[in-house]
Amino acid sequence: MRPGFSRRKRPAWRTVLYLVLAVLLLPYGLTLLYAVVNPPSTLMLWRYATGQRVARTWVPLSQIDSSLALSVIVAEDGRFCDHFGVDLTEIQNAIVDAEGLDDVRGGSTITQQVAKNLFLWQGRSYVRKALELPLALWIDLVLSKRRVLEIYLNIAELGPGGEFGAEEGAKRAFGRSAGNLSAYQAAILAASLPNPVTRDAKRPGPGLRRLAGLYQRRAAGAPEAAACVRQKR
């Protein structure tokens, strides 16, 4: 009976294995599609599914103020133009500095955050990080830096009421388009990115204003940080 039982079970295990592989490989196929299709984030999909508000107006990178693109890069991933999706130096620094620091970014690049926001879940875990790293490498390989940043600026949560993307974040905080921001307003939005619920760009507290000032100064001193996403003339 045992050999027959084994034969009956083997196809079922193969089916489960194929399903697991399909789920794991699906993001890699979708990444190719997202070169031309404007995607939602997993958080946006969750909010849709649970009946919560979602406000997102997709705008191309060419219509987002360059000061916002630069501010986000200097705030989130200063070597965005130089690495291949994963910044090994920042990961090492994050591991060294993580103990006792509640606000550590975990060494995540913008590309890693795109991988997480598009395909994975919020919160920290070793499993999520293990899935995130190869996805970030793949995203950097098949998408241009401009497209990666464009996706990020259109799926990032930028308001406490379900506002996603630079356009909705700028409208809520400043009553203007993402293409018409001052350098300081851009820095405020960039500084709110880790948690726009507690870091409200519309009503910035002293800490958020100080951080925005820091990012504004960094951006003014490092315009080359966004060289890879400037539109070629």
pLDDT at residue 104 above 50?
A: no
- Secondary structure of residue 222 in the 3-state scheme: coil
Core vs surface per residue 39-76: b (16+ CB within 10 A) or e: bbbbbbeebeeeeeebbbebbebeebbbbbbbbbbbbb
> pLDDT by residue (tens digit) across 167-212?
999 999 999 999 999 999 999 999 999 899 999 999 999 999 999 9
Residues 43, 221: Cα–Cα separation, whole Å:
34
List Cβ neighbours of 146 (8 Å cut-off, separation of 6 or more): 61, 228, 229, 231
Residues 129, 120: Cα–Cα separation, whole Å:
9
pTM reported for the whole predicted model: 0.88
Token reading at 18: 């194929």
> pLDDT by residue (tens digit) across 40-96?
999 999 999 999 999 999 999 999 999 999 999 999 999 999 999 999 877 766 665
pLDDT of residue 149: 98
- Residue 47: enclosing H or E segment and its boundaries? helix 42-49
pLDDT of residue 22: 81
Q: 109 to each of 5, 54, 81, 192, 211, how far by Cα in Å?
A: 49, 25, 11, 16, 19
Find, among 186, 165, 180, 173, the residue nearest to 69 by Cα.
186
Which residue is associated with the tokens 């606000």? 103
Which residue is associated with the tokens 């600026």? 153
Four-way CATH pick for 37-229: 1.10.3810.10, 3.20.20.100, 3.30.2010.10, 3.40.50.300 = 1.10.3810.10
Token reading at 120: 């994975």
The domains of the chain are located at: 1-33, 37-229
